[in-house]
Amino acid sequence: MKRETRLIHSGQPRRSDDLVNPPIERASTVLSPSTAELYNPTPPRRHYGRGGLSPNSELCDAIAGLYKADHVALTSSGLSGVILALRTALPDRPAGFQALITDSVYGPVRRFCDEELPRYGVAPVYYDPRISARDLAQLLQRPTAVVLLESPGSLTFEVQDLPGLTRAAREGGAATVIDDTWSAAILMNPLDLGIDYAAQALTKYAGGHSDFLMGSVAARGAAAARVRDKNVLFGGHVSPDDAFLCLRGLRTLPLRIEQSGRTGLELASRLDNHPRVARVLHPGLRSSPDHALFSQLFSGSAGCFGFILAGVEVEGGEAVAEKLNLFRLGFSWGGYESLVLPCDRQIRRTTAPWVSEGALLRLSAGLEHVDDLWADLSQALDVLDV
Protein backbone atom coordinates (compact mmCIF):
# COMPACT_ATOMS: atom_id res chain seq x y z
CA MET A 1 0.00 0.00 0.00
CA LYS A 2 1.00 3.61 -0.52
CA ARG A 3 2.24 5.65 2.43
CA GLU A 4 -0.99 7.66 2.81
CA THR A 5 -3.06 4.46 2.94
CA ARG A 6 -0.72 2.87 5.47
CA LEU A 7 -0.99 5.92 7.72
CA ILE A 8 -4.77 5.86 7.67
CA HIS A 9 -4.96 2.16 8.57
CA SER A 10 -1.84 1.73 10.71
CA GLY A 11 -2.46 -0.11 13.96
CA GLN A 12 -5.93 -1.31 13.08
CA PRO A 13 -4.99 -4.91 12.16
CA ARG A 14 -3.64 -5.57 15.66
CA ARG A 15 -7.05 -4.73 17.20
CA SER A 16 -9.98 -7.12 17.33
CA ASP A 17 -12.68 -4.45 17.80
CA ASP A 18 -14.69 -2.66 15.12
CA LEU A 19 -13.73 0.89 16.14
CA VAL A 20 -12.26 3.40 13.71
CA ASN A 21 -10.12 4.95 16.44
CA PRO A 22 -8.26 3.06 19.18
CA PRO A 23 -9.62 3.24 22.72
CA ILE A 24 -7.71 5.46 25.13
CA GLU A 25 -6.48 3.07 27.83
CA ARG A 26 -5.47 4.77 31.08
CA ALA A 27 -3.71 2.27 33.30
CA SER A 28 -0.42 1.78 35.06
CA THR A 29 -0.84 -1.89 36.05
CA VAL A 30 -1.34 -4.76 33.62
CA LEU A 31 -2.58 -7.90 35.36
CA SER A 32 -1.06 -11.29 34.55
CA PRO A 33 -2.49 -14.84 34.90
CA SER A 34 0.75 -16.27 36.25
CA THR A 35 4.16 -15.34 37.60
CA ALA A 36 5.77 -16.63 34.42
CA GLU A 37 3.60 -14.27 32.34
CA LEU A 38 4.19 -11.45 34.82
CA TYR A 39 7.95 -11.51 34.29
CA ASN A 40 8.06 -12.75 30.69
CA PRO A 41 4.78 -11.83 29.00
CA THR A 42 4.01 -13.65 25.78
CA PRO A 43 3.51 -11.17 22.92
CA PRO A 44 1.19 -9.40 22.34
CA ARG A 45 0.48 -9.34 26.09
CA ARG A 46 1.47 -5.99 27.63
CA HIS A 47 3.93 -5.82 30.50
CA TYR A 48 3.39 -2.52 32.32
CA GLY A 49 1.68 0.77 31.56
CA ARG A 50 4.93 2.67 31.11
CA GLY A 51 5.69 0.49 28.09
CA GLY A 52 2.62 1.88 26.34
CA LEU A 53 -0.93 0.72 25.88
CA SER A 54 -3.31 1.57 23.07
CA PRO A 55 -3.07 4.06 21.31
CA ASN A 56 0.65 4.36 22.13
CA SER A 57 1.40 1.13 20.32
CA GLU A 58 -0.59 2.19 17.24
CA LEU A 59 1.25 5.51 17.13
CA CYS A 60 4.60 3.72 17.27
CA ASP A 61 3.48 1.41 14.46
CA ALA A 62 2.46 4.37 12.31
CA ILE A 63 5.73 6.26 12.79
CA ALA A 64 7.74 3.08 12.28
CA GLY A 65 5.90 2.61 8.99
CA LEU A 66 6.93 6.09 7.83
CA TYR A 67 10.60 5.51 8.62
CA LYS A 68 10.60 1.76 7.85
CA ALA A 69 12.08 1.55 11.34
CA ASP A 70 12.51 -1.48 13.58
CA HIS A 71 11.67 0.50 16.70
CA VAL A 72 10.21 3.89 17.62
CA ALA A 73 10.55 5.39 21.09
CA LEU A 74 8.10 8.07 22.18
CA THR A 75 9.30 10.94 24.37
CA SER A 76 7.70 13.80 26.26
CA SER A 77 8.86 16.50 23.79
CA GLY A 78 10.89 17.02 20.66
CA LEU A 79 13.81 18.22 22.78
CA SER A 80 13.71 15.07 24.89
CA GLY A 81 13.65 13.01 21.68
CA VAL A 82 16.89 14.56 20.42
CA ILE A 83 18.45 14.16 23.88
CA LEU A 84 17.40 10.49 24.05
CA ALA A 85 18.98 9.91 20.65
CA LEU A 86 22.20 11.65 21.68
CA ARG A 87 22.46 9.77 24.97
CA THR A 88 21.74 6.49 23.21
CA ALA A 89 24.40 7.18 20.58
CA LEU A 90 27.12 7.70 23.18
CA PRO A 91 29.33 4.65 23.80
CA ASP A 92 29.06 2.96 27.17
CA ARG A 93 32.35 4.56 28.24
CA PRO A 94 32.20 7.94 26.48
CA ALA A 95 34.95 9.81 28.36
CA GLY A 96 37.61 11.15 26.02
CA PHE A 97 35.31 11.33 22.99
CA GLN A 98 34.03 14.39 21.17
CA ALA A 99 30.56 15.05 19.77
CA LEU A 100 30.38 16.95 16.47
CA ILE A 101 27.37 19.29 16.52
CA THR A 102 26.06 21.34 13.60
CA ASP A 103 26.37 25.03 14.43
CA SER A 104 22.76 25.56 13.31
CA VAL A 105 21.48 23.25 16.05
CA TYR A 106 18.22 23.99 17.87
CA GLY A 107 19.02 26.26 20.83
CA PRO A 108 17.85 24.04 23.71
CA VAL A 109 19.81 21.12 22.22
CA ARG A 110 22.89 23.36 22.14
CA ARG A 111 22.42 24.02 25.83
CA PHE A 112 22.28 20.27 26.54
CA CYS A 113 25.45 19.72 24.51
CA ASP A 114 27.28 22.55 26.28
CA GLU A 115 26.19 21.73 29.81
CA GLU A 116 25.58 17.98 29.94
CA LEU A 117 27.88 16.31 27.42
CA PRO A 118 30.99 17.43 29.38
CA ARG A 119 29.54 15.62 32.43
CA TYR A 120 29.91 12.41 30.41
CA GLY A 121 33.47 13.38 29.52
CA VAL A 122 32.40 14.26 25.96
CA ALA A 123 33.56 17.53 24.40
CA PRO A 124 31.00 19.28 22.16
CA VAL A 125 32.66 20.57 18.97
CA TYR A 126 30.60 22.69 16.59
CA TYR A 127 31.03 22.54 12.84
CA ASP A 128 29.80 24.66 9.92
CA PRO A 129 26.36 23.34 8.81
CA ARG A 130 27.55 23.41 5.19
CA ILE A 131 30.74 21.48 5.93
CA SER A 132 31.93 19.08 3.25
CA ALA A 133 32.25 15.36 3.93
CA ARG A 134 36.00 15.71 3.40
CA ASP A 135 36.31 18.43 6.05
CA LEU A 136 34.13 16.49 8.45
CA ALA A 137 36.44 13.51 7.98
CA GLN A 138 39.29 15.70 9.19
CA LEU A 139 37.38 16.51 12.38
CA LEU A 140 36.70 12.79 12.80
CA GLN A 141 40.43 12.13 13.20
CA ARG A 142 39.80 12.58 16.93
CA PRO A 143 37.74 9.86 18.68
CA THR A 144 34.13 10.86 17.99
CA ALA A 145 31.04 9.45 19.67
CA VAL A 146 28.31 11.06 17.58
CA VAL A 147 27.66 13.51 14.77
CA LEU A 148 24.50 15.58 15.22
CA LEU A 149 22.77 16.79 12.05
CA GLU A 150 19.84 19.15 11.46
CA SER A 151 18.76 19.76 7.89
CA PRO A 152 17.48 22.33 7.19
CA GLY A 153 18.57 24.29 10.26
CA SER A 154 15.49 25.40 12.18
CA LEU A 155 16.37 29.12 12.15
CA THR A 156 18.76 29.65 9.26
CA PHE A 157 17.73 26.74 7.00
CA GLU A 158 21.07 25.45 5.75
CA VAL A 159 20.78 22.08 3.98
CA GLN A 160 23.45 19.54 4.84
CA ASP A 161 25.07 16.91 2.61
CA LEU A 162 23.47 14.12 4.59
CA PRO A 163 24.69 11.15 2.51
CA GLY A 164 28.27 12.42 2.44
CA LEU A 165 28.40 13.40 6.11
CA THR A 166 26.79 10.13 7.18
CA ARG A 167 29.29 8.13 5.15
CA ALA A 168 32.20 10.08 6.68
CA ALA A 169 30.82 9.53 10.18
CA ARG A 170 30.44 5.79 9.62
CA GLU A 171 33.96 5.50 8.28
CA GLY A 172 35.17 7.46 11.32
CA GLY A 173 33.38 5.13 13.73
CA ALA A 174 30.81 7.70 14.90
CA ALA A 175 27.06 7.28 15.26
CA THR A 176 24.74 9.80 13.56
CA VAL A 177 21.67 11.56 14.94
CA ILE A 178 19.39 13.93 13.03
CA ASP A 179 16.66 16.30 14.12
CA ASP A 180 14.17 15.43 11.38
CA THR A 181 11.32 17.70 12.49
CA TRP A 182 11.25 19.82 9.31
CA SER A 183 10.71 16.85 7.00
CA ALA A 184 8.50 14.95 9.49
CA ALA A 185 9.52 11.65 7.81
CA ILE A 186 7.29 12.68 4.88
CA LEU A 187 9.66 14.80 2.78
CA MET A 188 12.76 12.66 3.45
CA ASN A 189 13.68 9.42 5.22
CA PRO A 190 17.01 9.86 7.06
CA LEU A 191 17.24 6.15 7.87
CA ASP A 192 17.35 5.37 4.15
CA LEU A 193 20.43 7.61 3.97
CA GLY A 194 22.18 5.54 6.64
CA ILE A 195 21.61 7.85 9.61
CA ASP A 196 21.37 5.84 12.82
CA TYR A 197 18.80 7.78 14.85
CA ALA A 198 16.03 10.02 13.47
CA ALA A 199 14.45 12.23 16.12
CA GLN A 200 11.59 14.63 15.56
CA ALA A 201 9.21 16.86 17.48
CA LEU A 202 5.81 15.24 16.96
CA THR A 203 4.48 18.43 18.55
CA LYS A 204 4.78 20.11 15.17
CA TYR A 205 3.69 18.61 11.85
CA ALA A 206 2.76 15.16 13.11
CA GLY A 207 0.28 16.53 15.65
CA GLY A 208 -0.68 19.52 13.57
CA HIS A 209 -3.10 21.09 16.06
CA SER A 210 -0.76 22.69 18.63
CA ASP A 211 -2.45 20.89 21.52
CA PHE A 212 0.23 18.58 22.98
CA LEU A 213 4.00 18.08 23.28
CA MET A 214 5.75 14.88 22.15
CA GLY A 215 8.85 13.57 20.41
CA SER A 216 10.06 10.36 18.86
CA VAL A 217 13.24 8.51 17.93
CA ALA A 218 13.23 5.99 15.08
CA ALA A 219 16.02 3.52 14.33
CA ARG A 220 16.85 0.23 12.64
CA GLY A 221 18.91 -2.82 13.54
CA ALA A 222 21.34 -2.56 16.44
CA ALA A 223 20.51 1.13 16.90
CA ALA A 224 16.83 0.20 17.31
CA ALA A 225 17.63 -2.36 20.01
CA ARG A 226 19.81 0.18 21.78
CA VAL A 227 17.23 2.99 21.79
CA ARG A 228 14.55 0.57 22.98
CA ASP A 229 16.74 -0.43 25.93
CA LYS A 230 17.78 3.14 26.78
CA ASN A 231 14.23 4.45 26.69
CA VAL A 232 13.23 1.80 29.24
CA LEU A 233 16.32 2.59 31.31
CA PHE A 234 15.53 6.32 31.35
CA GLY A 235 11.85 5.75 32.18
CA GLY A 236 10.40 7.14 28.97
CA HIS A 237 6.61 7.38 28.69
CA VAL A 238 3.91 9.53 27.09
CA SER A 239 0.26 9.67 28.10
CA PRO A 240 -2.31 7.69 26.11
CA ASP A 241 -4.37 10.87 25.68
CA ASP A 242 -1.46 12.64 23.98
CA ALA A 243 -0.69 9.54 21.91
CA PHE A 244 -4.31 9.56 20.71
CA LEU A 245 -4.04 13.23 19.68
CA CYS A 246 -0.81 12.58 17.82
CA LEU A 247 -2.24 9.55 16.04
CA ARG A 248 -5.25 11.62 15.01
CA GLY A 249 -2.96 14.28 13.54
CA LEU A 250 -0.71 11.74 11.85
CA ARG A 251 -3.60 10.42 9.74
CA THR A 252 -3.80 13.75 7.86
CA LEU A 253 -0.09 14.62 7.94
CA PRO A 254 0.61 14.16 4.20
CA LEU A 255 -2.27 16.48 3.25
CA ARG A 256 -1.36 19.17 5.77
CA ILE A 257 2.37 19.26 5.08
CA GLU A 258 1.69 19.41 1.33
CA GLN A 259 -0.69 22.37 1.78
CA SER A 260 1.61 24.13 4.23
CA GLY A 261 4.61 23.56 2.00
CA ARG A 262 2.84 24.85 -1.11
CA THR A 263 1.69 27.98 0.72
CA GLY A 264 5.11 28.54 2.25
CA LEU A 265 6.89 28.24 -1.08
CA GLU A 266 4.48 30.71 -2.69
CA LEU A 267 4.98 33.21 0.13
CA ALA A 268 8.75 32.72 -0.09
CA SER A 269 8.65 33.44 -3.83
CA ARG A 270 6.69 36.64 -3.32
CA LEU A 271 8.97 37.78 -0.50
CA ASP A 272 11.98 37.04 -2.72
CA ASN A 273 10.75 39.83 -5.01
CA HIS A 274 9.79 42.30 -2.29
CA PRO A 275 11.92 45.48 -2.19
CA ARG A 276 12.27 45.43 1.61
CA VAL A 277 13.50 41.82 1.75
CA ALA A 278 17.23 41.24 1.42
CA ARG A 279 17.17 37.46 1.33
CA VAL A 280 14.74 34.56 1.72
CA LEU A 281 15.99 31.46 3.54
CA HIS A 282 14.05 28.70 1.82
CA PRO A 283 15.94 25.82 0.16
CA GLY A 284 13.01 25.20 -2.15
CA LEU A 285 13.71 28.46 -4.00
CA ARG A 286 15.97 28.28 -7.02
CA SER A 287 17.78 31.33 -5.64
CA SER A 288 18.88 29.33 -2.57
CA PRO A 289 22.53 28.21 -2.53
CA ASP A 290 21.29 24.84 -1.24
CA HIS A 291 18.59 24.31 -3.85
CA ALA A 292 20.39 21.64 -5.90
CA LEU A 293 21.24 19.55 -2.83
CA PHE A 294 17.74 20.09 -1.41
CA SER A 295 16.16 18.84 -4.65
CA GLN A 296 18.24 15.64 -4.47
CA LEU A 297 17.31 14.83 -0.87
CA PHE A 298 13.77 16.12 -0.31
CA SER A 299 10.56 15.27 -2.13
CA GLY A 300 8.98 18.63 -1.28
CA SER A 301 8.99 21.61 1.06
CA ALA A 302 7.68 22.18 4.54
CA GLY A 303 5.97 25.49 5.28
CA CYS A 304 8.61 26.80 7.67
CA PHE A 305 11.22 29.24 6.34
CA GLY A 306 12.91 32.56 7.10
CA PHE A 307 13.56 35.92 5.50
CA ILE A 308 15.85 38.87 6.21
CA LEU A 309 14.66 42.46 6.16
CA ALA A 310 17.12 44.66 4.30
CA GLY A 311 18.92 47.14 6.57
CA VAL A 312 16.43 46.67 9.41
CA GLU A 313 17.67 46.38 12.99
CA VAL A 314 16.41 43.74 15.40
CA GLU A 315 13.83 46.10 16.92
CA GLY A 316 12.48 46.97 13.50
CA GLY A 317 12.07 43.32 12.62
CA GLU A 318 10.20 42.71 15.86
CA ALA A 319 7.93 45.67 15.07
CA VAL A 320 7.05 44.06 11.73
CA ALA A 321 6.27 40.77 13.46
CA GLU A 322 4.05 42.52 16.00
CA LYS A 323 2.14 44.23 13.17
CA LEU A 324 1.02 40.90 11.71
CA ASN A 325 -2.51 39.66 12.41
CA LEU A 326 -2.90 36.20 10.85
CA PHE A 327 0.71 35.28 11.60
CA ARG A 328 0.71 35.14 15.40
CA LEU A 329 3.81 35.49 17.56
CA GLY A 330 4.84 32.13 18.94
CA PHE A 331 7.38 29.32 19.02
CA SER A 332 6.95 26.02 17.15
CA TRP A 333 5.62 25.38 13.65
CA GLY A 334 3.59 22.82 11.75
CA GLY A 335 0.18 23.63 13.24
CA TYR A 336 -2.93 24.67 11.34
CA GLU A 337 -2.37 28.31 12.30
CA SER A 338 0.38 30.51 10.84
CA LEU A 339 3.14 31.76 13.13
CA VAL A 340 5.93 34.32 13.04
CA LEU A 341 9.09 34.30 15.14
CA PRO A 342 11.71 37.07 15.35
CA CYS A 343 14.91 35.00 15.46
CA ASP A 344 17.85 37.29 16.17
CA ARG A 345 17.60 37.10 19.96
CA GLN A 346 18.15 33.34 19.98
CA ILE A 347 20.76 32.76 17.27
CA ARG A 348 23.94 31.34 18.81
CA ARG A 349 26.99 30.39 16.76
CA THR A 350 30.38 28.98 17.70
CA THR A 351 32.19 28.10 14.47
CA ALA A 352 30.20 29.61 11.60
CA PRO A 353 29.29 33.23 12.51
CA TRP A 354 25.81 34.33 11.48
CA VAL A 355 26.07 37.39 9.24
CA SER A 356 22.93 38.94 7.78
CA GLU A 357 21.76 42.08 6.03
CA GLY A 358 19.13 42.82 8.67
CA ALA A 359 16.61 41.32 11.06
CA LEU A 360 15.64 37.66 10.60
CA LEU A 361 12.01 36.54 10.83
CA ARG A 362 10.81 32.94 10.62
CA LEU A 363 7.39 32.09 9.23
CA SER A 364 5.37 28.92 9.61
CA ALA A 365 2.64 28.78 7.00
CA GLY A 366 -0.56 27.27 8.34
CA LEU A 367 -3.68 26.26 6.44
CA GLU A 368 -5.11 29.73 5.78
CA HIS A 369 -5.52 30.91 2.18
CA VAL A 370 -2.23 32.09 0.71
CA ASP A 371 -3.70 35.40 -0.50
CA ASP A 372 -4.90 36.29 3.00
CA LEU A 373 -1.48 35.49 4.42
CA TRP A 374 0.23 37.58 1.75
CA ALA A 375 -2.08 40.52 2.45
CA ASP A 376 -1.12 40.26 6.12
CA LEU A 377 2.60 40.22 5.30
CA SER A 378 2.26 43.11 2.87
CA GLN A 379 0.53 45.41 5.34
CA ALA A 380 3.12 44.61 8.03
CA LEU A 381 6.03 45.30 5.67
CA ASP A 382 4.45 48.66 4.86
CA VAL A 383 5.43 49.69 8.40
CA LEU A 384 9.01 49.96 7.14
CA ASP A 385 8.02 52.77 4.75
CA VAL A 386 6.40 54.92 7.44
Which active-site residues does the annotation give? 50, 106, 179, 204
Indicate if the alpha-carbon torsion angle 79, 80, 84, 86 is positive or negative. positive
CA angle 87, 93, 98 (to 5 degrees): 65
Residues 317 and 329: beta-carbon distance below 8 Å: no
- Residue 149 CA to residue 178 CA, distance in Å, equals 5
- Residue 293 CA to residue 151 CA, distance in Å, equals 11
Total Cβ atoms within 10 A of residue 96? 12
With a CB cutoff of 8 Å and minimum separation 6, the contacts of 74 are 52, 56, 59, 60, 202, 214, 215, 216, 236, 237, 238, 243
- Residue 340 CA to residue 360 CA, distance in Å, equals 11
Indicate if the alpha-carbon torsion angle 31, 225, 112, 353 is positive or negative. negative
